[in-house]
């Protein structure tokens, strides 16, 4: 039994029955503590442990394989291995200094099958509505999440039309976490804010989601920049200041970002 499962269950009981049940939950926790796995904060195995699988072995040849081994978490048994490998290759395309930043911050990129909220750490989102989605959609229905130390992207849902409209799901979600890290520095915040205000309408003329939210613009531009040379060229043409920011991103002084930010 995972402790996060217990905590998620406890949260639901407290919502239903109020704080009076808190005492009994604490007692129950101590009774169950010897049987609770506190060493496994999320489900899946790191990519390095999956390298014994012949279908994944050639991922070791990627130029950033040492960092990917530490960053990426996958299911113990993967059904769609081709999609998984393609996702890993796209993550490998991110400039090495940014991947190093994520590793140093303790970030994990969870590539999953099933529902987002099957992950015990995200179970509490099961009935919550994500920003910008239709009223009848909850986090259980969306294929990815980012912005914190645990990034999630559904295997096989990379392309638009698979429950999202981003040019690429995994890069977009990683972009959210990079945004939160980079924007801890006021100078970087000011520079990107200026680019967003001047160029968001050129990239997304009538898409309020990006016009209203700086973080969504950053995440999508991050995905555009790293997805392909063709998509990066679109940024260069329509949003040259944004393009310049991402081109120089790998050279920023990441020592200005607080260690263990998450």
Euclidean distance between CA atoms 261 and 79, whole angstroms? 34
What is the residue extent of each domain of the chain?
3-35, 45-178, 180-256
Cβ–Cβ under 8 Å, residues 126 and 114: no
Cβ neighbours around 4 below 10 Å, total: 21
In 165-197, which positions are buried (b, 16+ CB within 10 angstroms) versus exposed (e)?
ebbbbbbbbbbbbbbbbbbebeebeebbeebbe
**Which runs of E-coded beta strand occur in the chain?**
45-46, 72-74, 108-112, 144-145, 150-154
Burial state string for 226-238 with b = 16 or more CB within 10 A and e = fewer than 16? bbeeebbebbeeb
Q: Which of 70, 113, 119, 173 does the annotation list as catalytic?
A: 173
Q: What is the DSSP letter of 106?
A: T
pLDDT one digit per residue (tens) for the chain, 262 residues: 455 555 555 566 556 666 566 666 566 656 654 544 433 455 677 776 665 666 677 788 899 999 999 999 999 888 888 999 999 999 999 999 999 999 999 999 999 998 888 877 787 777 777 776 666 777 777 788 999 999 999 999 999 988 788 999 999 999 999 999 999 999 999 999 999 999 999 999 888 989 999 999 999 999 999 999 999 999 999 999 999 999 999 998 888 888 766 5
| 124 phi/psi in degrees, rounded to 5 | -65, -15
**Is 173 noted as a catalytic residue in this protein?**
yes
Strand 144-145 vs strand 72-74: parallel, antiparallel, or unpaired? unpaired
């Amino acid at each position: 039994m995972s402790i996060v499962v217990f905590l998620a269950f406890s949260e639901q009981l407290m919502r239903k029955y109020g704080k009076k049940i808190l005492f009994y939950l604490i007692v129950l926790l101590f009774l169950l503590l010897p049987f609770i796995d506190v060493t496994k904060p999320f489900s899946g195995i790191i990519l390095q442990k999956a390298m014994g699988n012949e279908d994944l072995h050639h991922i070791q040849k990627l130029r950033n394989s040492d960092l990917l081994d530490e960053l990426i978490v996958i299911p113990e048994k993967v059904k769609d291995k081709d999609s998984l490998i393609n996702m890993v290759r796209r993550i490998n395309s991110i400039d090495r200094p940014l991947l190093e930043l994520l590793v140093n911050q303790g970030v994990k990129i969870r590539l999953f099958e099933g529902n987002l909220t099957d992950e015990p750490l995200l179970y509490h989102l099961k009935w919550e509505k994500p920003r910008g989605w239709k009223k009848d959609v909850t986090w259980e229905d969306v294929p990815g999440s980012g912005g914190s130390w645990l990034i999630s992207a559904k295997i096989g849902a990379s392309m638009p039309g698979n429950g999202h409209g981003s040019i690429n799901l995994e890069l977009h979600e990683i972009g959210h976490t990079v945004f939160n890290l980079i924007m801890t520095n006021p100078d970087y915040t000011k520079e990107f804010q200026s680019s967003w205000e001047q160029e968001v309408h050129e990239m997304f003329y009538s898409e309020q989601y990006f016009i209203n939210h700086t973080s969504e613009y950053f995440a999508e531009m991050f995905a555009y920049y790293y997805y392909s040379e063709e998509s990066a060229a679109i940024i260069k043409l329509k949003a040259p200041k944004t393009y310049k920011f991402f081109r120089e991103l790998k050279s920023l002084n990441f020592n200005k970002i607080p260690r263990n930010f998450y």
